[in-house]
Structure 1
Amino acid sequence: MAIDTATAQQQVLAAADSLFYERGVQAVGMDAIRTASGVSLKRLYQLFPSKDALIEAYLHQRDQQWKDMLAEHLDAATDPQERILAVFGFLHDWFTQHDFRGCAFINSFGELGAISPKVAELTKQHKAGFQRVLTELAAAAGAADPEQLADHLILLSEGAITRSAISGSAEPAQRAREAAVLLMRASLP
């Protein structure tokens, strides 16, 4: 029985997400995606005409998942300063996921950023989106210079992501949160 296009696309993206995130985008071929998804190679290429197109769809999906997880944590906090600290709660929860392998965008950029302008652009867009969220949070908390505070917070966040991926520990999220508290004391009224 043939599966509909939306279901086939979901199966392929789920397989790509798992394999690309676990092994890296260059290490995974379309045959591995076919096998993991259960979608024929012909159908796979109908849905995604190239591996580059599949990588782009994977990164778009990761971006949306990341935004949704972050928003869930931010929406749980009402106080403007607590909303900033909720970012680090989000990071901690993300780092404790059994399949955490760091940032999919940083990983993909590291593999393909120099040769794939699209991967580089999607990575820049994702990071710029996070920067905007942090700037908005800093402004809502009353920072005199929201962009500067956001710059500091993103460095803490990105450093925590990298440290956690390398160490296999969620502890960097806690250390980054502690540093964020100190920054906030110096930057907020």
Structure 2
Amino acid sequence: MGATTSAAGATRGGRGARERILRAAEELFYTRGIHATGVAALMQAAHVSPRTFYAHFPTKNALVEEYLRRFESERPIAAEAQLERADLTPAQRLLAIFTPVETDSATPFRGCPFHNAVIEGAGELPEVARLAQRHKQAFRDRVVATAAEAGASDPQALGRQLAVIFEGANALAASCNDNRVFSDARQAAEALLDVALGPAAGE
């Protein structure tokens, strides 16, 4: 995932305050981190008063939870959305999740927002952990289902292995701020697919 559209230019006050708060959260939580982003910074970016902010989100944790839910409904993570592409074969979709995310040099690659939120929560945000577990399980299930569509003899094993490679690539890319690791991850995925489906699987 790359940086989201800036909320700094939003119209002050009036309608759409909740949406502006969420857009500010998407940008600031992802680029700066959840703990490093205070409520004051969110209110400033969204151009809302404390009264308006707390009318929509009684706590910062409530905003964090809604920020994550948006990735499951309205704003799917770009790499994961590759599994839904109708213009690719199932095998091609499995490889497409490893396409490096384009970012500019001024924007660090932050990886998966669910992973980041769980790490920052350090066990103190149980609802965030639950949301992340649900999302990760749904992603694994979708990879397994796609592996089955591709004709893998053991789609459960192939799907789990590809999910591990994908999650590992996201974590390493974020740690090193280097999305080139996805090229190595894709090669590893291709090797697995060659064994499971044959050398022409990704064509």
Q: Report the TM-score, using the length of structure 2 for normalisation.
A: 0.83
Q: 1:144 aligns with which of 141, 153, 175?
A: 153
Distance 1:52 1:11, change over 3 A: same
Write the letter of the residue equivalent to 1:111.
E
Quick check: 2:110–2:174 contact (8 Å CA) kept in 1? Answer: yes
| Kept in 2: contact 1:17–1:58 (CA 8 A) | yes
Equivalent residues of 2:90, 2:149 under 8 A apart: yes
CA separation of 1:113/1:145 partners in 2, compared to 1, >3 Å: closer, same or farther? farther
Distance 2:72 2:36 in 1: 21
Q: Which runs of 5+ in 2 are unaligned?
A: 1-11, 199-203
CA contact (8 A) 1:77 1:86 kept: no
Instruction: Give the match for residue 70 of structure 2.
Output: 61
Q: Deviations over 1:64-116 (max 9, x none)?
A: 42356633574154322112111112xx1x2x223431111111101114011
% identity of equivalent residues: 35
User: Please, which of 180, 199, 202 is the counterpart of residue 171 of structure 1?
Assistant: 180
Matched residue, 1:19 = 28
Q: Name the Cα RMSD after superposition.
A: 1.9
| 1:3 partnered with 2:14 | yes
Q: Which moved more, 1:175-184 or 1:99-108?
A: 99-108
Structure-1 separation of matches of 2:79 and 2:151? 25
1:70 aligns with 2:80: yes
Letter in structure 2 aligned against 1:117: P
Aligned pairs for 1:83-162 within 5 A: 83-89=93-99, 92=100, 94=101, 96-98=102-104, 99=107, 100-162=109-171
Q: Give the TM-score, by structure 1 length.
A: 0.89
The one-letter amino acid paired with 1:30 is: V
- Equivalent pair of 1:149/1:183 in contact (CA under 8 Å): yes
Question: Which residue identity lines up with residue 54 of structure 1 in the other structure?
Answer: L
Moved more, 69-78 or 43-52: 69-78
CA apart distance, 1:54: 0.4
Classify 1:27/1:15 alpha carbon distance in 2 versus 1 (closer, same or farther; 3 Å): same
SS of the aligned residue for 1:66 comes to coil
For residues 22-43 of structure 1, the C-alpha deviation after alignment (integer angstroms, 9 at most, x for no partner) is 2211121211111111011100
> Could you tell me which of 72, 76, 89 is aligned with 1:79?
89
Task: Answer yes or no: is the 8 Å Cα contact 1:80–1:137 preserved in 2.
Answer: yes
Q: Which runs of 5+ in 1 are unaligned?
A: none
Alignment: residue pair count: 183
